[in-house]
Amino acid sequence: MSLVGPQLPPTQLIPPPTVINDENKVYSIAAACIFLGILASLFALTRLVGRIWCRNFGLDDYAAAVALAFYIGWTIFAGYINLNAGVGKPLWETTVGEWSLFWRSALIATFLYPSVSGTIRISTVLFYQRVFAVGRAMKIALHVLLALQVVFIIVFTVTPGFICQPISAINDPFTVLVQCDFKFFSINQTCVYLVSILLDLLLVIVPVMIVSKLHMDNKRRRALAFVFLFGLGATIASIYKLAMHLKEWVQPTQAGPEWLKYAMSLYIPTQFTDYGTTFWIPCQVEPALAIIGISLPALRQLYLQIRGTNQTTTTVRGSSAGNSKSGATVGSKRAVGSSSHPAAAYPRADGSYVELRPYQSNTSAPRTSQNMDAADAAQRRSYV
């Protein structure tokens, strides 16, 4: 921690204010946290509703619902703290009550962040299992990656409990530096951010390696690359957060000579001068990008489902009108299916039809495990 000694005798230092004054407070940090939280939550909720509507709700969606609950709680917490804990205004205008809330929020965030970050990654790994888990080696790799997320959550949810002894000491801004080990706090946060970055990188690298080996058109490759960019953006936000954390502990922000006139300069480190931009913003951007990125494939599936339903409805109505006049044709396209040749049809975008014939077994190509794996892989690719 960096405490700069006062230039005045302690008896001449200005006591902290007793009335909350937000005249010079900047609300952009709170507004940004709330906006990102609402935006990412809308993407996630649409994804979950779409999966239900498509009757395609899977294990990854249950995990996504848990992750969304954690993220909504994190967003509410971030908005409340940035509005009520003195974040975004000069240090000397912060009351003792606001400093007490600030310290409590720092410890609570340390407990809560691993669960927010880890549950989002668990949802991502389960989605990869749903789409990419073809072959024994890939299944094992994804199971290991899933286990790492669980270990991450457990370990880094327990370690913050050793920062303050007793833990209630975090409530008193005058004794917090004595009762709490902020060197351990800094090391713990560094480890959390570093491990989080490594796990994020794995979640970006694994699907890229798989997709690079698939045979698909350039349009679908570009769509997948766009999805992976969100994961990469979350990783970049994590790297920025780690860099800011290390910078503030090695070369902390200087509060200026005005701060040294106040008694609270004896108790409050200058690392927390820009805590809104060095902690809260990257901690909100990272999960928001991850949630949006992992929601996009399901939103694409929902869009295709709705578009297909609309085309089917339009074609059926057009067929009824056409059949009342010409009997067997719709425009210039042949209408499949009749009383003598019953068949199902799926409309293309151009108005033509794909005839769906009943399955006929092929004795020359038995359903071996290889054929079943290939069919399973084709089904998995349809999700992306």
Q: Considering only CA atoms, which of 70, 271, 90 is closest in space to residue 185?
A: 271
Q: What is the average per-residue pLDDT within 123-127?
A: 92
CA distance 344 to 358: 9
User: Do residues 64 and 50 make contact, with C-beta atoms less than 8 angstroms apart?
Assistant: no
Average pLDDT over all residues of the chain: 79
175-223: per-residue pLDDT in tens? 888 888 888 998 999 999 999 999 999 888 877 777 777 676 777 777 7
CA distance 208 to 50: 25
Which residue has better confidence, 94 or 323? 94
CA atoms within 13 A on the CB side of 187: 7
36-60: per-residue pLDDT in tens? 999 999 999 999 999 998 888 999 9
212: tokens are 């690079």
The DSSP code for 8 is S
> Where does the pLDDT of residue 368 fall: very low under 50, low under 70, confident under 90, or very high at 90 and above?
low
SS3 (DSSP) at 9:
coil
Q: Name all domains of the chain by residue range, CATH numbers in brackets.
A: 10-307 (1.20.1070)
Which residue has better confidence, 258 or 239? 239
User: Do residues 40 and 306 make contact, with C-beta atoms less than 8 angstroms apart?
Assistant: no
